[in-house]
């Protein structure tokens, strides 16, 4: 996992997002064990308290479950990947719309831009 963080969002949430993306991309699966708090802190080069906060937040949301004496595991829920994909998609669009509105673009101009750049991306691949 990359260890660079943005200043616009708390680090513990950015780490959670990285776990979510790994789950969506099938690099993690329901039932998989996550690294211990200390191991993850070393990997991410952050304080263990930050990882504990990440795991606590993910547990609060039902993304992971902690099994005493065994560790932290991805929850085994059939709707988990879709829920995360929807949540992350909404977050990305929300940020995009806010930034484009700050540039003075109307919703129509935003849609036109998306279509144009999507077509260009298709042509490049």
Q: Are 51 and 25 part of one and the same domain?
A: yes
- The total number of structural domains in the chain stands at 2
pLDDT at residue 97, rounded to an integer:
94
In a domain, 44, yes or no: yes
Angle (nearest 5°) at CA 38 between 36 and 43: 95
What confidence tens digit (pLDDT) does each residue in 99-123 have?
A: 999 999 999 999 999 999 888 888 8
pLDDT at 9 over 80: yes
Q: Rounded to whole angstroms, what are the CA distances from 42 to 36, 38, 118?
A: 10, 6, 38
Q: Are 70 and 84 part of one and the same domain?
A: no
Q: Which two tokens stand for residue 8?
A: 């616009």
Question: Where do the H-state alpha helices sit in 65-106?
Answer: 80-102
In CATH, what number is assigned to the domain containing residue 35?
Answer: 1.10.10.10
Of 40, 55, 74, which residue sits at a domain end?
A: 74
Q: Are 31 and 16 part of one and the same domain?
A: yes
Q: Which two tokens stand for residue 61?
A: 């949301």
Terminal C-alpha separation, the chain: 25
Region 88-96: mean pLDDT is: 92
What confidence tens digit (pLDDT) does each residue in 23-39 have?
A: 999 999 999 999 999 99
In a domain, 2, yes or no: no
Q: Are 68 and 103 part of one and the same domain?
A: no
Indicate the pTM of the whole model: 0.80
Q: Which two tokens stand for residue 105?
A: 């673009």
Q: Are 18 and 63 part of one and the same domain?
A: yes
Q: Are 26 and 70 part of one and the same domain?
A: yes
User: Domain residues for 112?
Assistant: 80-124
């Amino acid at each position: 996992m990359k260890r660079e963080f943005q200043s616009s969002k708390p680090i513990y949430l950015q780490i959670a997002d990285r776990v979510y993306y790994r789950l969506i991309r099938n690099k993690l699966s329901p039932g998989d064990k996550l690294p211990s708090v200390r191991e993850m802190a070393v990997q991410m080069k952050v304080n263990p308290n930050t990882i504990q906060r990440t795991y606590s937040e993910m547990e609060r949301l039902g993304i992971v479950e902690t099994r005493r004496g065994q560790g932290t595991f991805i929850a085994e829920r059939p709707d988990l990947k879709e829920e995360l994909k929807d949540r992350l998609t909404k977050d990305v669009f929300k940020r995009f719309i806010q930034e484009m509105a700050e540039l003075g673009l109307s919703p129509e101009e935003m849609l036109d831009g998306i279509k144009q750049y999507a077509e260009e991306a298709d042509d490049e691949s």
